[in-house]
Amino acid sequence: MAKKKTGATPAPAVPDDLAAAIAGSTAAAAAWAALSASCRREYVAWVEEAKRPATRQARIAKAVDMIPEV
């Protein structure tokens, strides 16, 4: 039996370091507010999948640059 969809999935919990980086950029903050929950979820997952702290920081920096272009 297939599961019924119960509605929209809530927005993901944004890690503190990613949230701080987004808040530090006016363009990224405005664009982030306009993104759908699924798009936000993809960015959060991409950042959280990084195994090394250096990779995580690089992904956060790249995300802040990419978010306003979406």
Q: How many domains does the chain have?
A: 1
How do residues 11-41 score in pLDDT, each as one tens digit?
Answer: 779 999 999 999 999 999 999 999 999 999 9
Q: Report yes or no: 48 and 15 within 8 Å, Cβ to Cβ.
A: yes
Residue with token string 């956060």: 60
Residue 49 belongs to a domain? yes
Q: What is the pLDDT of residue 39?
A: 94
Q: What is the pLDDT of residue 40?
A: 95
Residue 7 belongs to a domain? no
How do residues 36-59 score in pLDDT, each as one tens digit?
Answer: 999 999 999 999 999 999 999 999
Which sign, positive or negative, has the C-alpha torsion 41, 31, 22, 46? Answer: positive
Residue 44 belongs to a domain? yes
Q: What is the pLDDT of residue 55?
A: 98
Confidence band for 5, pLDDT divided at 50, 70 and 90:
low
Domain that holds residue 64: 16-69
Residue 11 belongs to a domain? no
Residue 5 belongs to a domain? no
For the entire predicted model, the pTM comes to 0.83
